Amino acid sequence: MLAYRHAFHAGNHADVLKHLVLVQVLRHMNHKAKPYWVIDTHAGAGGYALHDPAAQKHAEYAEGIGRLWPRDDAPPAVADYLAQIRAFNTGGPLLYYPGSPAIAHQLMRPQDKLRLFELHPSDHRLLDASFGAQPGVQVRCADGFVALKSLLPPPDRRAVVLLDPSYELKTDYAALRNTLSDALQRFAVGTYAVWYPVLQRRESHLLPQQLRRIAGQADWLDVRLQVREPDASGFGLLGSGMFVINPPWTLHATLQGLLPWLTGVLGQFKGAHFQLEQQAS
């Protein structure tokens, strides 16, 4: 959706969960010397200034990374995620938040490749300015759902595909399902990380079960974190989830150990909770 700008939401609780999982997935990929690709279908601007008017409009980062930033008791995987945010701020105060492209670029090795897609012209210009000239990186102003078909399977048959559309259009749900189903037919052994919102919307409630059906017999992991209480308006992001197909075998145990802590830090009401489920062969 061309009206959507992630700058308004940078560093919120959903980014925390998404990027914490992404760091763990990429750490696992780095255990083998063989190269891999990271493909980000909705890359955004790549990084965000938290003092920018867009980020300050609702200051969503204050209830996300802002709550974690001063903590010195974070579990190891959360501390690893925080280290990536600190590196993006060159060890100084929290002024900037890295998007998925920046986090991936920080963690990848010289032999790995990064493929970034962003359709919004303004965000694409920012993304290209930051990453377009970097070795091993390609930035395209294109619909990542459509472009993904031409990239699978990758030459070395190792890849992490991050799919995180805005879901502001109801058609995003069907587009995601169709894209993921097609991708698995082309490249069944890839790791697919799907971010999804927890909303008071029928499409949001149905999506996790739909993703499980698409995954079929493949291993998958589904983690959801709800930090806000539903209200009478029926609007607003209550939480978010990450559905990972062919996840690292260590991911479930890692998340199981840190989610109680993370829920306590990010929760905005007494009923804040998490769910963690998996299918493992």
Which residues are designated catalytic?
A: 164
* Alpha helices (H) in 195-245, listed in sequence order: 202-215
Residue 183 CB neighbour total at 10 angstroms: 25
SS3 for 140-173, per residue?
ECCCHHHHHHHHCCCCCCCEEEEECCCCCCCHHH
* Torsional sign, CA 233, 234, 237, 238: positive
Tokens 């007494």, residue located: 270
DSSP class of 4: -
Phi, psi for 91 (deg, rounded to 5): 80, 0
